Amino acid sequence: MCGVPTNERLVRLMTEAGFVDDNGDLSRKRFAREVSTAAGGKTYSHTYVARWLSNARPRDDATRAAIREALGVHLGRVVAEDELGFAMPDTASSDLGLAYPDRPETGVSTVVELLVADLADASALRRAPTSSSAWNDASLAWLVSSQKPFGEAKPGKIGLADVERLRAMRTTFDRLDGSFGGDHARGALVHYLRGELPRLLRADGQSEVRKALFVAAGEATQLAAWMSYDSGRHGLAQRYFIQALGLADAGGDRLLAASILDAMSHQASFLGKYRESAHMARAARLGTESAGVPILTSHFYAMEARALARTGDAADCDRAMTGAVEHFERAVDGEGPEWISYFDASELAAEMAHCNRDLGRPDQAIEYATQALGAAPEESIRSNFFVAMVLADAHVDRGDIEEGVRVAEQAFSAGDALQSARCQGYVGEFRERLLRHRTSPVVREFASTVRGHHLWTPPSGAQ
């Protein structure tokens, strides 16, 4: 019973809290007494502690709460349940992650719970729908800065090297995402974040270092959201986005937070929630007006335009597109955060192509899409696939079926390695256009050619 402990997290917490004897060994009996005191009635012996150290999860909430309290008293902080190292159940509340965190510590615990449930493939999250009210609540909470600040800073156990390492890993996964789609390395990113974020975000450190870590964690969690969104896990993606927004807010990075809200707008538009999408894009713009970063404002206008185009509101969409172009032209190279540097002339042209396609302007859509593809870097495989499918749509809308099919076939060839539900969504829209011309020999030949391609297969269980 008292063999070598296998619950390394609990060992570390007990050691840090001072539950060791003069020889440096864990003091199971002393810890048992402290847990019993915290429990306020139930008595635990050293054999219970030995079981916990062997990774046996206490079944009742009261015991786990008493363990947390006994440790927290000596550590001088609140200990979250996921820190105890016990195997977490493969169930999760269906509303996990939907609430905007009211304080940084709450955000950390929620992110960890999401990561744990994600790795366990918890059914409540796998099937979770998105919530329009959660988008609205998060937008408002961020705009009014409802989150409480950090607690008192303590001598550092973390440093800027930890920040740089987290950002470097995020960059690596971001490249994989853009080249192969969100479903390719999403699980690996979630596994990495589960191992790193709790340790880093709960460690003591100087205030500026902790803030920088929360910002880096917000960037990484936003990528987990994007990859979940791209792989069709929309309810899970929304929850990651909301918690990423909270992490960025905790780190004091208003521009990153607005960019995350902008990404949430992108997802809402993809899901047909155009009103919510436009509102979030406007909130991102409103919340950063005083910062005066034209390249970001341009993107916020572009996301608003994307949503308005889908509703058929040509006048307001044109107004938003004009705002996007005007602010883009004011931008200075190198101005703004590094993570917005991808938004160049080809990306702006791609946004304009989407909007004009959706407004029923195929000629303009073809012009912008061609411009975007001509200037886009080859390594932007997924983005180029999106634009190519918009170009194919526009050709079909204009009545040039043969050219539309030719462009689509090239896109399929270039995107062969993509594992992306979003890509399948673009293909779905193209299929719908081809239905009007299903008797055409050109369409029949194309359908026969791509029938075995994984992107041609409609996504199952799409929301």
pLDDT in tens, 381-425: 999 999 999 999 999 999 999 999 999 999 999 999 999 999 999
364 in Cβ contact with 402 (< 8 Å): no
Residue 463 has pLDDT above 50, yes or no: no
265 in Cβ contact with 278 (< 8 Å): yes
Residues in the chain: 463
Give backbone dihedrals phi and psi of 88, rounded to 5 degrees, phi first. Answer: -85, 145
Q: What is the DSSP letter of 361?
A: -
380 in Cβ contact with 344 (< 8 Å): no
Q: What is the pLDDT of residue 253?
A: 96
What average pLDDT does range 225-231 have in this prediction?
A: 97
Residue 460 has pLDDT above 60, yes or no: no
Whole-prediction pTM: 0.86
* Residues whose CB falls within 8 Å of the CB of residue 355, separated by 6 or more in sequence, listed in order: 305, 306, 308, 309, 317, 321
Q: What is the DSSP letter of 154?
A: -
Give backbone dihedrals phi and psi of 440, rounded to 5 degrees, phi first. Answer: -70, 135
What average pLDDT does range 137-141 have in this prediction?
A: 96
Element (H, E) at 423: helix 421-435
Residue 462 has pLDDT above 70, yes or no: no
Beta strands in 93-194, from DSSP E residues, in sequence order: none
Give alpha helix (H) positions in 149-273. 160-180, 182-201, 207-230, 234-250, 254-270
Say how many CA atoms lie within 13 Å of 121 toward its Cβ. Answer: 2
Rounded Cα–Cα distance for residues 59 and 19 (Å): 23
- Separation in Å, CA 427 to CA 183, 347, 422: 17, 20, 9
Tokens, residue 97? 């992650």
